[in-house]
A and B are shown apart, each in its own frame.
Chain A
C-alpha cells in the first residue's frame, strides 16, 4: 500500500497560504485527525488589511473584467472537480453523488455571478427624471470590505454563496469557513490562487465562530457583514458602531443547496452603495 503525502491545511490571506500567526491548529469535528490552522483574531485583522489593500484594484476593474475572472474561477473549479469532491467527502458524510451535485451547483453559482458584474449599473443604477434643467443619474458602487461567515452545511457551495455575490459587486471579502468542515473551503483557496482573482480579494479563514465573529462585528475597518445563521443582537449591536450593513442568511439545510435561492440580486444589493450625480444642462 502506498504511503501518501498528507496535506497541511493553511489559511488563504492576501493571495498567500500562511499558517495561523498563533501557531495553533484545531481538528474540525467533520474531519478528526486533520490539523487545520486555527485563525486567530490577529489573522482576522491581517485578512482585513489584505482585503482593504485589494479593494481599490478589484473595484476599479471593469465589470467585464471581473466577470471574466469569475468565469475563470468556474473553469478552474470544473477542472479540479474531482479533488473538490474528495475534500467534500473527507469532511462530511455526503455520498459521491451528493458531492458531485454540490460541485456542479458551485460551478453553476459562480457562472451565474460571472455574467452579472457588467450589468449591475443597468440593473441597479438609473437615470432620474428631475424637475429642472439637470441631468441626474445614479450609479452603484461596492460598499467595501465585507466579512462573511459561511453556513455549516455545504462546505463548498455555502462558502461561495456568501462570498461570490459580494465580489461580483466589487467588494473584497474575509470569509470564515464552516467550522465543522473547512477543508473543501480551504481547497477553494487553491482554485482562487490560480484563477486570476487578485490576492486579497477573497480571503479564507478556518477557526471558531465564537472567537472571530465578535471581532468581525466590532472591527472599525469592516464595512459590512453577511452571516449565515440567526440574527443575534450582540453582533448587531457591535456592528452599529461603524454603521455596518448587516445581513443574516437564515436558510434551511435544503435551501443552502437550492440555486434559485442563492443566485439573485438580493445577495448583491445590500452591499452596494447608490451614488447620485447632478449636472446642469445649459448651452
Chain B
C-alpha cells in the first residue's frame, strides 16, 4: 500500500509489521522471493509484416490503400500493418457474403455446415498456443489468460455450435426456421478471438454468412482465424474479415444488404447503432457496458470471496463488460474484508503479458489508459479514498496499478460510470433488501455476483436482481452453453445456449419486426 511506512519498510526485511492495513502476523518475503522469468516462446508465431483484408476467400489490399499499425500495448512496439477497410471494401465483402449465403451456405445440408464448424474448432485447438501468443501480444492480456481461458473457450464455442447446425429443429420444436441472411458483426478489443467466436459460430451454425469488423487495436487473432478458415476449406465468402476503425464499422452497419447487425462494445456506440437502424426493420443485438454489483454477505466464505473479487475486477485488467466493479459489502464484515483485499492486491503480479507468472497485463491502449486516469482523478476529487498496489510498473507501455476506492457513495462518478479498468469501488449495505436496491440502482444490467453460504438467499436475491448473468459464489464463468447478455442499457439479445441461436434465425410464424 502507498505510502510506505517504516513498519512496512521493516516488513521488507522479514519482520512482521505491527500495524498498517492488516493487523495479523504476515509472511513478507519482500525481495527474497522473486519469481524466475518464465517467458512464453514466440518463435512458432507466424506474424506477417502486413495484413490485407480477407474477402470472398482471398486476401486483398483495401481499395483506398490505407493502412495503420497495430501495436503491442506492453512495449508500444509495432507488431504489423493492418488494412483500413473503406466503403468499397465493405460493399465487396457484403456482396460476397450475400452470394455465398444464397448460393452455397444457405442451401448446404446442415450436417455439412456442422462439419466445417467442427473442423474450425479442432483447428483452433491445434493452433491454440500460437493464437494465445498473438492475443497477448496484440491486446496486452497475460498469456496465462489467453492460453487457459480465451482460446479454449473460443474452440469450445465452435464445437458447441457445430452440434446445433443440424439440430435446429430440436432447439425450436414446432417452428420452421430459416437463416437471417448476411450478418454484420462488430467486436471489441477486450476478448478479440473469443468475441469473434461468440459471433461467428452461432451465425454460421444457423446458415448465415458473416462480415466481421474486429476492433481497431486488436485485429490480429481475427486475421489468423481467417487463415484457419482457409485451412478448414470454408467456402469463399462465408466469413469475411474487414479490419479498420469506427468508420469501417459505420459502413457495415449502414450497408443496405446487411440483414442483421450484432455489436459488442460501449453503450454509447450501441445506442448510435440502434439509432442508425431505427425504422429499417433490420435485426439487431447489442452487448454493451456494465457496472456489475459484487455483493458479499457476512456469511460468505471470506477468502474465497476475496479471490472472487480479485478475479471479478482484475481479470483481463478489468477490461470486462461484466466486471464486478462495484463491491457491495455487508457492513459487519467491511473492515475485515478490506484488510484481506488490500493485502491481496499487493500480491497481484503486474507486468510482461508474455511471462507465464504474470497475473495482470497492460492496458489495451493509450486512449483507454487516459479514460481510466480521468475517472480515477474524478474519484479522488469527489472525496473517495484511493488504495493502490505497491507494484512497480514497466517504463514503456500502457499500465495501471490495481486500485480500490473506499468511502464511495452511489452518486460518485466512479460508482455510476463504467471505468473498464482495474479499479474497484467499494460501498456497504446492511440488509438483503438494501443490497438489491443498491445493486439495481444503475442503468446497466449485465451481470452481478453474490457471495453467501445460504442457498435460499442466493435464489431470493437472484430473483430480484436486474442482471442478465448472476454468478453465485463464483465469478467470470463462461460456457458456450450458458446464455450471456444484459438487461436494460447493457443491451439486448443473448449469446450462447439455445437462447443464443434465436438472434440468427427467422421464424416462419414470427410476425414482429425489430425497430
Contacts and interface: CB of A to CB of B under 8 A. Distances in A.
Contacts of B432: 283
Interface string B264-287: 000000000000000000000000
Interface string A215-250: 000000000000000000000000000000000000
A116 B114 CA distance: 12
B164 A283 contact: no
B163 interface: yes
Contact of B118 (A111, A119, A133, A281): A111
B170 A118 contact: no
A118 B171 CA distance: 13
Contacts of B459: 135, 279-281
Contact of A119 (B122, B456, B463, B481): B481
Contacts of B111: 108, 111-112
Interface in A103-160: 108, 111-112, 114-116, 118-119, 121-123, 133, 135
A115 B460 contact: no
Given A112-B111, A122-B481, A281 B163 contact: no
B481 A115 contact: no
B102 interface: no
A111 B114 contact: yes
Contacts of B498: 119, 122-123
A267 interface: no
A71 B111 CA distance: 14
A67 interface: yes
Contacts of A282: 456-457, 460
Contacts of A123: 170-171, 498
A98 interface: no
A114 B162 CA distance: 10
B433 interface: yes
A279 B455 contact: yes
Contacts of A133: 460
A178 interface: no
B495 to A, nearest CB: 15
A111 B160 CA distance: 12
B497 A122 contact: yes
Contacts of A63: 481
Contact of B115 (A111, A116, A121): A111
Contact of A67 (B159, B431, B455, B463): B159
B456 A68 contact: no
A46 to B, nearest CB: 34
A118 B460 contact: no
Contact of B163 (A118, A121, A279, A280): A118
B183 interface: no
A133 B455 CA distance: 13
B375 to A, nearest CB: 33
Contacts of A135: 459
Contacts of B118: 71, 111, 114-115
Which one of B122, B171, B456, B480 has the greatest number of beta carbons of chain A within 10 Å?
A: B456
Interface of B is mostly: helix
A281 B156 CA distance: 33
B166 interface: yes
A279 B456 CA distance: 7
A112 B481 contact: no
Interface string A251-283: 000000000000001000000000000011111
A115 B117 CA distance: 11
Nearest to A263: B166
A133 B433 CA distance: 17
B300 to A, nearest CB: 15
A54 B307 CA distance: 36
B457 A119 contact: no
A283 B461 contact: yes
Contacts of A67: 159, 163
B456 A280 contact: yes
Nearest to A64: B156
Contact of B167 (A68, A119, A121): A119
A123 B163 CA distance: 13
Contacts of A71: 118, 122, 159
Contacts of B162: 115
Contacts of B165: 115
Contact of A68 (B159, B171, B455, B480): B159
B88 to A, nearest CB: 39
Given A118-B481, A135-B459, A283-B433, A265 B160 contact: no
Interface string B452-472: 000111011101000000000
Contacts of A279: 455-456, 459
B160 A112 contact: no
A119 B459 CA distance: 24
Contacts of B497: 122
A119 B171 CA distance: 9
Interface string B95-115: 000000000000000010011
Interface in A41-58: none
Nearest to B156: A64
Given A108-B111, A111-B115, A283-B433, A116 B163 contact: yes
B455 to A, nearest CB: 6
B167 A64 contact: no
A108 B497 CA distance: 23
Given A111-B115, A112-B111, A281 B167 contact: no
Interface in B202-240: none
Contacts of A68: 159
A63 B160 CA distance: 10
Interface string B145-163: 0000000000010011011
A129 B374 CA distance: 47
Contacts of B163: 67, 114-116, 118-119
B494 to A, nearest CB: 13
A147 to B, nearest CB: 27
Given A111-B114, A111-B115, A118-B481, A281 B159 contact: no
B456 A115 contact: no
Given A118-B160, A118-B163, A118-B481, A281 B170 contact: no
Interface string A79-113: 00000000000000000000000000000100110
Interface string A189-201: 0000000000000
Which one of A64, A68, A115, A279 has the greatest number of beta carbons of chain B within 10 Å?
A: A115
Given A115-B166, A123-B170, A283-B460, 14 more contacts: A63-B481, A64-B160, A67-B163, A111-B118, A116-B167, A119-B163, A119-B164, A119-B498, A265-B170, A279-B459, A280-B456, A282-B456, A283-B432, A283-B457
19 contacts: A67-B159, A71-B122, A111-B115, A114-B118, A115-B118, A115-B164, A118-B160, A118-B481, A119-B160, A119-B164, A119-B170, A119-B481, A122-B481, A122-B498, A123-B498, A133-B460, A265-B170, A279-B455, A281-B463
Enumerate the 5 nearest inter-chain pairs by beta-carbon distance, A residue then B residue, closest first: A115-B163, A283-B432, A281-B459, A282-B456, A281-B460
